[in-house]
A and B are shown apart, each in its own frame.
Chain A
Amino acid sequence: MSRLRVLLPFGLLIAFWWAIKSGFDISDKLLVAPPQVWSSFRVLIGHGILAEYVSTSLSMIGIATLVSFAIGVPLGFAVGTNRYAARALEGFLRYLQGISGIAWLPLAILWFGFTHTTTLAIVIYTLIVPIIFNTMTGVRAIPENYILALQSLGASRLRIVTDVYFPGALPSIVVGTRLGMGYGWRALIASEMLVRQGGLGDLIFGARTFGQIDRIMVGMVIIGTLYIVVDRLLVQPVETMTLARWGVLRK
């Protein structure tokens, strides 16, 4: 039943696409029919090409997430627990949020060339701001009474960090990481399109230069599917778990 609910809309969409393609006799340079996409997919899979592109993109987003998390969370804590740091950095971070990572891409290319370093720099820049922001907001949303109560139980500063700040901010950190991964994934694709050193962005943009619409469409489907799989199967369960258990924290 629920499988039908998912398959039916896509089935109709594919039928519609096919009908347009053959009904209006659209050129293969603009749109290809579903079977062509399927066979292109099989070719890419068969030669291990797709696996190569996918693993490049996935390892980039993985590394960027780890780095951003390792730097962003402690920084968010520092900013969230110190009102001077918060006042100093909040406006600056907001300003940075207005400059998308892609806007820095030309500069990164000048600095690091057409390399993975360039892409990583852009993706980390994109990912880290929401992580810092959400860690900071999470820390600051913790009711002061939690901290006072622990102090009067004789808790040290470290103890308050491990027992109050960290668990209190965790749901917010997870939300920030999830958001960041979403933005980062898009920035990754865009960066790969211009840097052209492998990855799914390279796949679809390279296919463009050869007019291989079938490959572009395979790439698009893969990009969407991977995002959904990582987001729904990996990140969202963690979010639901933390939010459900401690959801009360946010009223």
Chain B
Amino acid sequence: MIFSRVAWKLLPAAPAFVILTAWFVYWLVVRPPPSVIPSIADVVRTGAELAFGGRLLGDFIASMGRLLGGVAFGIATGMIMGFVAGVCRPVATFLNPLVVFFNAISGIVWLPLVIGWLGVGNALATFLIWNTVFFIIFQNTVLGIQLVPEVLEQGVRALGGGRWETIRTVTLPGALPYILSGVRSGLGFGWRALIAAELVGATTGLGQLIFSGSEYHRADIIIFGALLIGAIAMLMDRWLLAPIERRTVVRWGLVAASRGR
């Protein structure tokens, strides 16, 4: 009984345990060249060296700066454009084909073209992130606004509220849950786009760290870098984005409550 409860608690660690064990055993038995498959100890040592040597912090800060810049820019422009398109149907109709097309080539596809405009560096990475995040936020904003029940707006109108009053008190709060969930997935996609962008389009950052690993045939750096990237994504999701989603649910409650009154 106690045992099974402990086992249940530990179960999520099982895949990591299995992989580490398999890796360890493989390494003991086959002794592959460390440039192809490093030992666990190598990866840990490399991680420690990078962390204490200062390189890691620099790369981390560079990546985070680009991420925040690109995402903030994407949220701002996506929301504004999305809002205009959501409130004004002809604009949405006009933009729709363009959005479908540019969404299909958003992100990394722009790299070869834009690298000529902006050169290698922060601006390029930020552009690629913005380009990825923008469409997610834009589409969620439009959707959120269009899904606000018309009765709610009519309710405010009936109370004598003007167009702006309606938008401020009904449309915007009503669309907020969608916008927030767009922010959540936007950040996730932005993170992915960042790593891809940094592989080629930057000289610093976590993506570049991994890439340098392949240039020097240092699989330990690559593996450490990839695992770190996953860990950062997970922590961001837990501490930054999940709270946003929780707020979203609360917002839904508010919307439902105001409908009930």
Chain A residues proximal to chain B, CB less than 8 Å: 5-6, 8-10, 13, 29-30, 84, 87-92, 94-100, 102-107, 109-111, 186, 189-190, 193-194, 204-205, 207-208, 211, 213, 216-217, 219-220, 223-225, 227-228, 231
- State the Cβ distance, B216 to closest chain A Cβ, in Å: 10
- State the Cβ distance, A127 to closest chain B Cβ, in Å: 14
Which residue of the partner chain, among A90, A95, A205, A217, contacts B230 with CB atoms under 8 Å? A95
Q: For the complex, is B152 an interface residue (Cβ under 8 Å from A)?
A: no
- Residue contacts A-B, CB under 8 angstroms, 29 given: A9-B95, A29-B116, A88-B11, A88-B14, A88-B15, A90-B12, A92-B12, A92-B16, A95-B231, A98-B229, A98-B232, A98-B237, A99-B229, A106-B210, A106-B222, A109-B214, A110-B217, A110-B222, A193-B108, A193-B112, A193-B200, A204-B112, A204-B113, A208-B112, A208-B115, A213-B116, A219-B112, A225-B104, A228-B101
Q: For the complex, is B211 an interface residue (Cβ under 8 Å from A)?
A: yes
New A-B pairs, 10, CB < 8 Å, besides A84-B11, A106-B199: A5-B93, A9-B94, A98-B229, A104-B222, A111-B36, A186-B109, A204-B113, A220-B105, A225-B104, A228-B100
Q: CB distance A102 to B219 under 8 Å? A: no
- State the majority secondary structure of interface residues on B: helix
Q: How far is the CA of A103 from the CA of B12 in the complex (A)?
A: 23
Q: How many residues of B contact A (CB 8 A)?
A: 55
Given A98-B237, A107-B226, decide whether A224 and B105 contact each other with a Cβ distance below 8 A.
yes
- Which of B141-149, B172-180, B188-196, B247-255 sits within the interface? B188-196
Q: Which residues of B contact A194 (CB under 8 A)?
A: 199-200
Q: CB distance A100 to B195 under 8 Å? A: yes
Q: CB distance A190 to B36 under 8 Å? A: no
- State the Cβ distance, B27 to closest chain A Cβ, in Å: 15
With both beta carbons as reference points, the residue of chain A lying nearest to B226 in the complex is identified as A103
Query: Most A CB atoms within 10 A — which of B100, B113, B195?
Result: B113
CB-contacts of B107-132 with A (<8 A): 107-113, 115-117
Q: CB distance B230 to A96 under 8 Å? A: yes
- State the Cβ distance, B128 to closest chain A Cβ, in Å: 11
Given A9-B94, A89-B15, decide whether A110 and B36 contact each other with a Cβ distance below 8 A.
yes
Q: CB distance B225 to A103 under 8 Å? A: yes
Q: How far is the CA of A103 from the CA of B108 in the complex (A)?
A: 13
Q: Which residues of A contact B102 (CB under 8 A)?
A: 224
Given A84-B11, A204-B112, decide whether A107 and B223 contact each other with a Cβ distance below 8 A.
yes
Q: Which residues of B contact A207 (CB under 8 A)?
A: 112
Given A89-B15, A102-B196, decide whether A107 and B116 contact each other with a Cβ distance below 8 A.
no
Which residue of the partner chain, among A6, A10, A107, contacts B222 with CB atoms under 8 Å? A107
